[in-house]
Amino acid sequence: MSADPLLTTAEVAHRLRVKPETIYAYVSRGLLTRVKVPGERTSRFRLADVERLAARTQATRPERDAAPAMRTATTLIAYGRLHYRGLDAAKLAPVTPFEEVARWLWTGQRHHEVFTASAETLERARQASSHLPGQARIFDRLPVIVAVAAAMDPLRFDLAPATVTALAPALLSTMVDALPLAGDAPADDSLAARLWPRLTGSPASEAGLRALNAALVLLADHDLAASTIAVRVAASTRANPYAAVLAGLGALDGPMHGAVGGSVHRMVEAALRDGTPATIAEWLRTGGLPGFGHPLYPAGDPRAATLLGLVAHLPVEGELRRTLDDLVATAARRDALPNVDFALAALAHATGMGPGAAEVIFAVARTAGWIAHVVEEYAQPSNRFRWSSGYTGPVPEPA
């Protein structure tokens, strides 16, 4: 048998962007060859064969006028892993500064730099967001901050790639530094260190900052998630980069997207208070178990495994550690593995962050990926997205 990596039917279907039934059709037509693995009942497929077929089908597949394809060289989710421009995100996360990964997403070049914003922009963004009512979430400040950053940038309508990637560090810096402090001054000038005291009053530790930086890296992009599609549609109209990011923040705020982390945080709180069995039973009764399972990672979310591994090195209080372990073990009996939202909730609880922290971490991190997609979309024809509505209303009256 070849030493070439072998893929499951589900992995092949995801890579080729087809239904599993189509894989069987490819086999019957001789386009793919099954590989029998001793001791396994299911067949597998050679990676090289799948890539050859992907190159052939995706190069010749016509693009429908009703739904133009969104192609990207930024991120690939395949074979159970997340890759940024060919690099495994889970391997980057524990050892690479978020700023370096962001630059890699934008330009394909790796170098570390400090992200900064002008003092005037920061002050105006702080003032504007400070007028929100007391019950406003910390996430609610981000659209205000981005809007102020846009108004302060006279070059925001310059859509050249170099201009867009030049404004991105200041935008990320403003999104972090304009948030109010909840703790002591940052431990250093990294974005992770500057974000930490905005999310928790607990003192920063080396292990904690490493985990927070890793969370930012792991969430920087995830192919064409709902918020990224919103960003690209906005960019296709030639909305400026700030406006495109605002479109992404709107989609991210949905309870089935970036706001899932808050639900997981509350589920962990309930498990600490009421016990794991009762909590899981209640969440299943009311709709589902947030923080577990991911359709793109049937064998487990590698982002969760990486982040939970880093959280394990934090001084987690005994009852919290037992509760997190119990939640994972109980969910595993239902074949549900933790995803990155659960790992974010574990990080937040271990570091004294509130339920809104996960969504803010998600938003700051994903802005890096959105900028990469904005640059890609500006290189495409404008206004290219026009889907058919599939009208189901009353029949029009005769003219």
What residues are annotated to the active site?
A: 294, 341
Q: Cβ atoms within 10 A of the Cβ of 58, count?
A: 13
Backbone angles phi, psi at 30, to 5 degrees: 80, 15
> Which has the closest alpha carbon to 289: 302, 275, 279?
279
Give the orientation angle of helix 98-107 with respect to helix 161-177, to 10 degrees. Answer: 160
The sheet carrying 75-78 orders its strands as 75-78, 81-84, 87-88
Cα–Cα dist 254/250, whole Å: 7
What backbone torsions phi and psi does residue 338 show, to the nearest 5 degrees?
-65, 145
How far is it, in rounded angstroms, from Cα 399 to Cα 394? 15
CA neighbor of 264 nearest in space, from 354, 192, 198, 367? 354
What six digits make up the tokens of 212? 């927070």
Order across the sheet with 6-7: list the strands.
6-7, 43-46, 34-36
Nearest to 276 by CA among 323, 328, 332, 336: 323
Rounded CA-CA distance 397/14 in Å is: 45
Report CA torsion sign: 296, 299, 302, 306. positive
Q: Which residues pair with 84 in a beta bridge?
A: 75, 87
Q: How far apart are alpha carbons 54 and 329 in whole angstroms?
A: 37
